[in-house]
Amino acid sequence: MENLLKNLEELREQVSKTWRLLDIDRKKERANEAKIEMSKANFWDNHESAVKISKEAEMLNDEVDKWENLLGLIRELEELVAVGQNEKDNSIDDIAHKQYKELKAKYEELEFYVLFSGKYDASDAILSIHAGTGGVDAQDWAQMLERMYLRFAEKKDFKVEILDRLSGQEAGIKSVIIKISGKWAYGYLRSETGVHRLVRISPFDADSARHTSFASVELVPDLPETVEIEISDKDLHIDVFKSSGPGGQGVNTTDSAVRIKHLPSALVVTCQNERSQHQNKESAMKILKAKLFKTKEDEREKKEKELKGETKIAQWGNQIRSYVFQPYQMVKDHRTKFEKIEIDKVMDGELEGFMEAYLRFKI
């Protein structure tokens, strides 16, 4: 049991170190502050603010409880093993080893969140998919990616809201914008930004020829209201039009859909999920602000890397990942070299391996 006690001590020290890295004490303080705010009589006067604080408190309490529970169970097991060692009672040896393995596995699961080092990793995410060149094959590929991310979100119990979706004429989609809400949604999904390449026998080719299709994926955080992004009205060109359904047919008799172009950056955002033009404009502006913020952050990061003299990794056409269905099956990330041959599981939303590899690659 001496080795087990040593292992438990090392595990407790690892947990304590990670506790400090995640600043659990400060999160516990913030959870208590939120609890005090929630107890005030006028708390629900500002419904939007109240919902935000309640959600934050729930997430903080959940995280703190998990770490406190793990640390408490490790200490309890240490005491049990110490008693067994003093009394030379070997009957608890097997049970203690089993519990140690379970606690170590639990720690490794929780430790994963240390990888979420980005400022907005805990935020909700706005995901955009655009079909590349390749006609109906590319549009079908964009829809396959859409399903993959929706399945991932479902498995993580994230909330999903389609903000804009443009269907293809024959099959698939030309583009889609999805808001994905949940703890660490952006932290998980930011690994997906870039060009995704598909190689397969085309179901739309009468000769059953092998085709290569591309689609681009973009991720931006759903920024909190406290982040200030100033946009001048003179820098915007706003169009309104009728919302469209599959194949482009109109589904709304009023001009409720909104397209906003930011002239200095040439960024364009379209939103047509709401029946109200005002709501669509509000959503589109929020997405535009997030994209402008992300562009500025990327520029700042690029300058920092240039000053540090960091070398760039050559990436063909910014392609981040290849999904090969024929002549063999494999999904490979070209940045991290992580790969998986179970392509059906990947397309069904099993993306954690790629995401973890990317987060470790970025450290």
User: Which residue ranges of the chain lie beneath pLDDT 70?
Assistant: 1, 89-90, 225-227, 244-254, 275, 304-318
Q: Give the per-residue pLDDT at 113.
A: 81
Looking at the structure, do residues 241 and 317 belong to the same domain, yes or no? yes
Under DSSP, is residue 138 helix (H, G, I), strand (E, B) or coil?
Answer: helix
Looking at the structure, do residues 254 and 333 belong to the same domain, yes or no? yes
Tokens found for residue 102:
């379970």
Tokens found for residue 285:
């502006």
Q: Could you tell me how many residues make up the chain?
A: 363
Looking at the structure, do residues 305 and 173 belong to the same domain, yes or no? yes
Sign of the dihedral defined by the CA atoms of residues 94, 97, 103, 105, in that order: negative
Looking at the structure, do residues 85 and 217 belong to the same domain, yes or no? no
- Give the distance from CA 206 to its chain's centroid: 38
Looking at the structure, do residues 133 and 216 belong to the same domain, yes or no? yes
Last residue in a domain, options 97, 115, 133: 115
Q: Which run of H or E residues covers position 10?
A: helix 2-21
Count of domains forming the chain: 2
What distance in Å separates the CA atoms of residue 63 and residue 342, rounded to the nearest whole number? Answer: 32
Q: Give the per-residue pLDDT at 312.
A: 41
Last residue in a domain, options 62, 93, 115: 115
Looking at the structure, do residues 38 and 158 belong to the same domain, yes or no? no
Q: Is 67 inside any structural domain?
A: yes
Count of CA atoms in the C-beta half-sphere (13 A) of 172: 23
Q: Is 24 inside any structural domain?
A: yes
Q: Is 120 inside any structural domain?
A: no
Last residue in a domain, options 115, 146, 162: 115
CATH number where 59 lies: 1.20.58.410
CATH number where 154 lies: 3.30.70.1660
Looking at the structure, do residues 191 and 314 belong to the same domain, yes or no? yes
Instruction: Report DSSP state, residue 269.
Output: E
Looking at the structure, do residues 178 and 292 belong to the same domain, yes or no? yes
Q: Give the per-residue pLDDT at 318.
A: 64
Across the beta sheet with 159-167, the strand order is 159-167, 173-181, 125-131, 210-221, 194-201, 319-324, 330-333, 339-340
Looking at the structure, do residues 80 and 169 belong to the same domain, yes or no? no
Q: Give the per-residue pLDDT at 247.
A: 45
Under DSSP, is residue 200 helix (H, G, I), strand (E, B) or coil?
Answer: strand
Q: Give the per-residue pLDDT at 313.
A: 38
Looking at the structure, do residues 101 and 230 belong to the same domain, yes or no? no
Q: Give the per-residue pLDDT at 305.
A: 61
Q: Give the per-residue pLDDT at 120.
A: 87
Residue 49 belongs to what domain range? 2-115
Looking at the structure, do residues 61 and 137 belong to the same domain, yes or no? no
pTM: 0.74
**Neighbour tally for 353: CB within 10 Å:** 16
